[in-house]
Structure 1
Amino acid sequence: MSTQSWLNQGSLVLASNNKGKVVEFEHLFQQLNLPVEIIPQGKLDIEDAIEDGLSFVENAIIKARHASKLSGKPALADDSGLCVPILGGAPGIYSARYAGEHGHDAANNQKLLADLVPFRKEGEAIEGMFVCVLALVTHAEDPLPQIFQGIWKGEILAAARGENGFGYDPLFWLPELNVSSAELSKADKNKISHRGQAMQLFKASLV
């Protein structure tokens, strides 16, 4: 199925039940003025796929195929997370369940802070990066999923700052802006974030 033919269907399933992520995507689709209706898979009673890949790309494709198979529609999946090089890339693909329970933001943030204590040195920043991989499949067995990747570099704070966003946003420091990700408005975050970057590439592919 070509881009034009699936666009003509007018709708696309978003393969996520993460409320924070769904809200962010809805804002992104509005900001980018994309010519397609986004349907969160939860509205179709589609449960989360089993993410047993070993990379963001693998898991994004698994989720997209799962949603497409159960909906019969094209699907877009996001697999994203925080990678901290000094921790060997952790939490990485396990970002949402780093502390053991899926989606427990406070526990995940506390574990990350604890894991970084031995590495903190006065005057030295700990680098981190948010990664987003989007996978688009036009049908469940699409042999050529389209992949769009965004990377957002920053630093990891020693204590949370800000009330906006979700996940690790309160610990993600942007030195060039002198704010944490959780101190940005949704609109400002979407312009520069890993997810915003990947969505810009997705939009460019539709032209």
Structure 2
Amino acid sequence: MFKKLVIASGNKGKLREIQHVLSALDIKTVPQSEFNVPECEEPFCTFIENALAKARHASKLTGLPALADDSGLCVDGLNGAPGVISARYAGKNAANSLLTQDERNNDKLLQEMSKVSNRQAHFYCVMVLVRHEHDPEPVIAEGSWHGVILREYRGTDGFGYDPLFLDDKTGKTVAELPLDIKSRISHRGHAMA
């Protein structure tokens, strides 16, 4: 087994969650930013293809094994949207915008769902581990987390769609859950279990 692993993400929220789960292992995790690895393009229409591209990209540029995550929110009443474009749902963040990308994405989601009665949704995550850039047998794991989309923000922790996604079992939004609980029950936690 390896002792050092690059995390193929520039998303601070994802990095925090992944490093929290992996902290129990005897593996040093390093974000790709420490190697000045630029973000990988995500041109594919599936989570698996995007995660694999990100893992291979980071491994190629660092020479290390790499772990990548591609995940998103899939809303039943929107035919699975935002899906693989969850992070870019509202388009690229305008330089003159007073809102963050997450706020713009959430606002667009609320607008799109204003007349939608089916608010069922799930977060979906694919984690890909490659031992090297050309690894012919990448390790691929998936996880999902079911809930509903609220009509207004609730909670202040987390990132992305966390303040709008109500967990079916706890009755809380992701933004109201402590990291320890979120790591155990989330789509990312399930994929890394």
Q: Could you say whether these structures have the same fold, taking a TM-score greater than 0.5 normalized by the shorter chain as the test? A: yes
- Residue correspondence of structure 1 range 23-172 to structure 2 within 5 A: 23-30=16-23, 33-101=24-92, 104-120=101-117, 126-172=119-165
Instruction: Report deviation, 1:175.
Output: 3.4
Q: Please say if residues 125 and 191 of structure 2, whose CA atoms lie closer than 8 Å, have aligned partners that are also in contact.
A: yes
Runs (4+) off by over 4 Å: none
Q: Which has the higher helix share?
A: 1
- Residue correspondence of structure 1 range 169-180 to structure 2 within 5 A: 169-180=162-173
Q: 2:97 is matched with which residue?
A: none
For residues 86 and 160 of structure 1, the distance between their equivalents in structure 2, rounded to whole angstroms, comes to 19
Alignment: residue pair count: 187
Paired AA for residue 122 in structure 2: M
TM-score, scaled to structure 2: 0.94
For residues 137 and 24 of structure 1, the distance between their equivalents in structure 2, rounded to whole angstroms, comes to 19
For residues 85 and 157 of structure 1, the distance between their equivalents in structure 2, rounded to whole angstroms, comes to 13
Q: Which runs of 5 or more residues in structure 2 are unaligned?
A: 94-99
* Percent identity of paired positions between Structure 1 and Structure 2: 49
Q: Deviations over 1:146-180 (max 9, x none)?
A: 10101000000000100011000000002321211
Paired AA for residue 142 in structure 2: Q
Q: Which runs of 5 or more residues in structure 1 are unaligned?
A: 201-207
For residues 13 and 27 of structure 1, the distance between their equivalents in structure 2, rounded to whole angstroms, comes to 14
For residues 169 and 45 of structure 2, the distance between their equivalents in structure 1, rounded to whole angstroms, comes to 32
Q: CA RMSD in A?
A: 1.2
